[in-house]
A and B are shown apart, each in its own frame.
Chain A
Amino acid sequence: MFRSTNVAARVFERQILTPRPGATINLVRHFYENLVPSCTICDIDCPDHSFRKITDDGRYLVSFSRNLQDIIVYRPTWLSFSFKGGNFDYQSLTQKAKKFDSFFTQLYSVSLGSSSEFICKDFFLYLEDHQFGLFATSTAQSHEVPAIEGAIHGVPSIEKITFHLVRLKDGVVMDEKSFCNDFVNLAHSMGVFLYEDLLCIMSLRYQTIHILQVRDSGNLVDVRNIGSFCLEDDELFLNSHAQCMTVLNKSKPVGNVHESANGIHHQQVAQASAFLTGIKQRLLSFIFRKAWSEEADPILRVQHLKKKFYFHFQDYVDLIMWKAQFLDRHHLLIKFGSVDGGVSRSTDQHPAFFAVYNMETTEIIAFYQNSSEELYSLFEQFYDHFHANSRESVHANFISSHSNNIHALEQLWSMKNKQSSFSQFVKKMMTSVPYTCQSQSPSPYFDVSLFRYDEKLISSTDRHRHSTDHPIKFISRRQPNVLKFKIKPGLETSGAEARTKKICSFLFHPHLPMALSIQQTYMQPTVVNLHLRIWMELEVVVIPVRMFWIEGLALRG
């Protein structure tokens, strides 16, 4: 904790202050209270692209062309300016400072889409170790789909979804993976979870979780598919069983064999439809064993089983997997629910369940309903572990959450106290589990210990929000009435314009004091603003020299 708020005093203090173990980053982050993106360049003249994300290491700004066919990658840089001689040309500096090119250098543009396939502009995942980016292209979604054996009714279908692994350094497409006549929830990367080098893709239509590994060479390799089968040799066992069945049951019609990248053999599925899917069997046997062990007395046990298991048997069988995430390399957290709530986000009317599944032993470890208080207590204490950050990811480990920050925890408690029904509150909180990976910005300006801001207007989660005319204030947490900086998302509006709905999204750089705000209004061009820290007029020349002087002292100390 620094004693002074002055940046120069803090630099001196940093020479002698030892941070608490493991909290160096928390201490160094206090400098962001002094260096804030207070200056806004409104409606910066930039190419008309759909800006998606600044990667978590700050190396790339990923954007898509308006026609959703190309990806354009920029390098975020910082304006540097030097002059020789006595005549300082301030005019040309301000001109330069207002250009998009001064801050972002285009690296390349790569075409991923084709005439029928468009890039999904909400989808992007970044593998920091190798600087790979994962993009998705898809054809149009169709809701009228013929019922196919093995596919869930009520879930739309997309003719082709392709995942492209691109090396962001130079734009080379390393590998591709396609899913045909399937549905993966690509909006905000919700259907795909990345943990270290493992990808978990939730195929809603065929109720299969595809686990893929990203190798160092850039190849996407299948590891396992969980759904119809849990163990690798389940399919072999069922095949040999099915062959015996066809010998006995010659009258039963056999469907066409259809093989795709999904790995589903429809013929096998048709014959195996006598069995419930592997994951469902694991789930039902877990629920049965749990109900069995809850009652010791044999007579009461049967009653208990009837009430807890058999009465709800069909409901459990009808559950489908909605979303999955990794908890570590061997464990998945899977959300189950009814088909009706399949692709929507609201779960108020439909019950949802969470299961922890061990991929190695193929056992279900835990099963909770979304109103479970036990699960909520784990959620409150250990939310960071639901994020499943690998230890190497420095930026992601310091995102504020109610498990690592007292202010966020107080906010959560105040929300809990305001709610009249605790179970409703628990259900509302559980909608954020399973976590959507890389959905939060690691920028220190969202650190709740440093700044207080209105979470409805702006937050670390990258979602579009309704834009207001008033600037969004970031108030210092430790000096309660001091306004540190403001972000004004749009141009000055007046009268009729002010009434039209505007939505706004923000892209914060992970460590530089720089942010982009993108305001979209219906039927009007998109406005992009750049918020950054620019030294004041007269200080432009003086400050750089003085900063070096301070740094020199720091080294000597």
Chain B
Amino acid sequence: MGSLLDDWPSYDPHNFSQLRPADSSAQSSKLTPVTYRPTHNKTLPPPDQVISTEARNILLRHFYQKSEEKFRPKRAASDHLTPEHSCKQPRYAYADEADVF
């Protein structure tokens, strides 16, 4: 580590001089980080994945989401288990709508 900082320019040539270790080559090899190699491919993205910005802005997405909630066929009054405005809503796939625009 000390050898890395040795060669950098500095106002004062005495700066970082005391950090120089006795055996610089052994130190530097010990501190070289090992490259990480993954042992599985579960986290690989699908080969045809394209990341792009959602074309519709968030306000419009909320309007569409709320209207879809309202037009979802309601269950009969007897088995009204969940409240109308629950916090957790299943996410709808917006990707296919984004293609249209």
A551 within 8 A of B: no
Complex contact B67–A296 (CB within 8 A): no
Which of these binds chain A: B21-29, B30-38, B56-64?
A: B56-64
B14 within 8 A of A: no
Which of these binds chain A: B3-11, B42-50, B68-76, B87-95?
A: B68-76
Residues of chain A within 8 A of B60, CB atoms compared: 327-328, 331, 356, 365, 385
Complex contact A386–B63 (CB within 8 A): no
Which listed residue, B66, B70, B76, touches A294 by the CB 8 Å rule? B70
Complex contact B75–A296 (CB within 8 A): yes
B77 within 8 A of A: yes
With both chains docked as a complex, state the minimum distance between the C-beta of A283 and any C-beta of chain B, in angstroms.
14
With both chains docked as a complex, state the minimum distance between the C-beta of B61 and any C-beta of chain A, in angstroms.
10
Complex contact B59–A294 (CB within 8 A): no
Which listed residue, B67, B75, B76, B77, touches A365 by the CB 8 Å rule? B67
Residues of chain A within 8 A of B56, CB atoms compared: 328
With both chains docked as a complex, state the minimum distance between the C-beta of B13 and any C-beta of chain A, in angstroms.
21
Residues of chain B within 8 A of A144, CB atoms compared: none
A295 within 8 A of B: yes
Residues of chain B within 8 A of A365, CB atoms compared: 60, 63-64, 67
Residues of chain A within 8 A of B71, CB atoms compared: 289-290, 293
Complex contact A382–B64 (CB within 8 A): no
Task: Classify chain B: how many residues form its interface, as a range.
Answer: 10 to 19
Residues of chain B within 8 A of A297, CB atoms compared: 76-77
Complex contact B74–A295 (CB within 8 A): yes
Complex contact B59–A386 (CB within 8 A): yes
Instruction: State the CA gap A514–B33 with chains docked (Å).
Output: 56
A385-B58, A386-B59 are known contacts. Are A374 and B66 too (CB-CB below 8 A)?
yes
Nearest-neighbor residue (CB-CB) of B64 within chain A: A365
Complex contact A356–B58 (CB within 8 A): no
With both chains docked as a complex, state the minimum distance between the C-beta of A462 and any C-beta of chain B, in angstroms.
25
With both chains docked as a complex, state the minimum distance between the C-beta of B79 and any C-beta of chain A, in angstroms.
10
With both chains docked as a complex, state the minimum distance between the C-beta of B55 and any C-beta of chain A, in angstroms.
8
Complex contact A356–B63 (CB within 8 A): yes
Which listed residue, B59, B70, B101, touches A382 by the CB 8 Å rule? B59
Complex contact A330–B63 (CB within 8 A): no
> Using an 8 Å CB-CB cutoff, how does the interface string of A3-16 with B read, 1 for contact, 0 for none?
00000000000000
Nearest-neighbor residue (CB-CB) of A327 within chain B: B60
A366 within 8 A of B: yes
Residues of chain B within 8 A of A374, CB atoms compared: 66
Complex contact A296–B77 (CB within 8 A): yes
Complex contact B70–A327 (CB within 8 A): no
Residues of chain A within 8 A of B59, CB atoms compared: 327, 378, 382, 385-386
Instruction: State the CA gap A297–B73 with chains docked (Å).
Output: 11
A244 within 8 A of B: no
Which listed residue, A296, A366, A385, touches B74 by the CB 8 Å rule? A296
With both chains docked as a complex, state the minimum distance between the C-beta of B34 and any C-beta of chain A, in angstroms.
30
Nearest-neighbor residue (CB-CB) of B70 within chain A: A290
A482 within 8 A of B: no
Instruction: State the CA gap A293–B75 with chains docked (Å).
Output: 10
Within 8 A of B (CB), among A375-390: 378, 382, 385-386
Beyond A327-B59, A382-B59, 6 extra complex contacts between A and B, CB < 8 Å: A289-B71, A290-B71, A297-B76, A366-B63, A374-B66, A385-B59
Among all A-B residue pairs, the 4 with the closest Cβ atoms = A385-B59, A296-B74, A366-B63, A382-B59
Interface residues of B (CB under 8 A from A): 56-60, 62-64, 66-67, 70-77, 101
24 contacts between A and B (CB under 8 A): A293-B70, A293-B72, A293-B74, A294-B70, A296-B73, A296-B74, A296-B75, A296-B77, A327-B57, A327-B59, A327-B60, A328-B56, A328-B57, A331-B60, A356-B60, A356-B63, A366-B67, A374-B66, A378-B59, A378-B63, A382-B58, A382-B62, A385-B59, A385-B60
